[in-house]
Structure 1
C-alpha cells in the first residue's frame, strides 16, 4: 500500500464520517454501535473497504429522509441486523475460532503422541 493509497483512504473515511455526523442523533448512536460491532466481530474484508459501512449510511440517510426512527430501519435487535448483513462472510470471530481449534488440536496430539 502506497502513501497515496493511505492518504486517499483517509480522505474517503473523513467524507464517510461527515455523512454520519449529519444524520439525526438516534441514527448516529446506532451507527457507532454497529461500527463497533462490525469492527470486533465483522467480516475480514471490512478492514479493506468501507463499502458495507457506506451502504449502512445510505440506508440510514434514506430512513431519516422518510422520517423513520432508526429502529424502524434496523429493527429492535441491532446485533441481529448486523449479523444478517455479514451472513456468509468470513469474520474475525471465525478466524479466532479456527486458531483456537488448531491450538487445541496440536496440544491434544502432543498428549496422545508425546514423540512429536
Structure 2
C-alpha cells in the first residue's frame, strides 16, 4: 500500500485529522474508567469503516459527547452500555455506517476492556486476566 493509499484509508477511518485530534483531546480529559471504555469502543469501531469520513468523525464525536455527559452526571459505564457492550456498540455504529464488520476477536477484546473499565469504575478488582 502506497503512502497515498494509507493516508486515504486513515482519513476514511478517522475522518479529518483536525476533528480526530479534537476528539482524542476530549477523550483524554475523561475520568480514567470512562476513558478506558471509550478507547475500547473506539478500537472496536475501527472495524466499522463507513464510506463517509464525516460520518465516522461524527460517530467518534458523539461517542465523546455520550461519555462526557455520563462522567459529568456520575453515570456508571454499565448504565451507559447496558449488560451487553457489543449490542450497544453495534447499534450505535449502525447509526453511522451501512457496512463494516467486527470479528469475534475484536468483540472479545472490547468486552474484556469494558469489564476492566467497569470494575475500575465501581472500585472492584478485575479477577480476569
* TM-score (normalised: structure 2): 0.58
The number of residues matched between the two structures is 87
Distance of 1:14 and 1:23 partners within structure 2: 15
Map residues 93-104 of structure 1 onto 2, 5 A cutoff. Answer: 93=101
1:91 to 68, 74, 99: 99
Cα RMSD between the aligned structures? Answer: 2.5
Asked if structure 1 preserves the Cα contact closer than 8 Å seen for 2:16 and 2:53, the reply is: no
Distance 1:51 1:79 in 2: 20
2:50/2:98 contact within 8 Å kept: yes
Q: Runs (4+) of structure 1 moved beyond 4 Å?
A: none
Is 2:4 the counterpart of 1:25?
Answer: no
Unaligned runs of 5+ in 2: 1-10, 103-129
Cα distance in 1 for partners of 2:40, 2:99 equals: 17
- Secondary structure at the aligned position of 2:71 is classed as helix
Contact conserved, 2:27 with 2:35, CA < 8 A, in 1? Answer: yes
Question: Is the partner of 2:83 in helix, strand or coil?
Answer: coil
Deviations 1:68-93 (A, max 9, x none): 12221111321111111123732223
Bigger CA drift: 83-92 or 9-18? Answer: 83-92
Q: Which moved more, 1:85-94 or 1:65-74?
A: 85-94
The match for 1:75 is: 82
Normalised by the size of structure 1, how large is the TM-score?
0.64
- Structure 1, unmatched stretches of 5+, are 1-5, 95-116
Superimposed CA distance per residue, residues 16-57 of structure 1 (whole angstroms, 9 cap, x where no aligned partner): 1000001111111111111111112x2423645310111011
Structure number with bigger Rg: 1
More relative contact order, 1 or 2 (CA 8 Å, 6+ apart): 2
- Within-5 A mapping of 1:57-76: 57-76=64-83
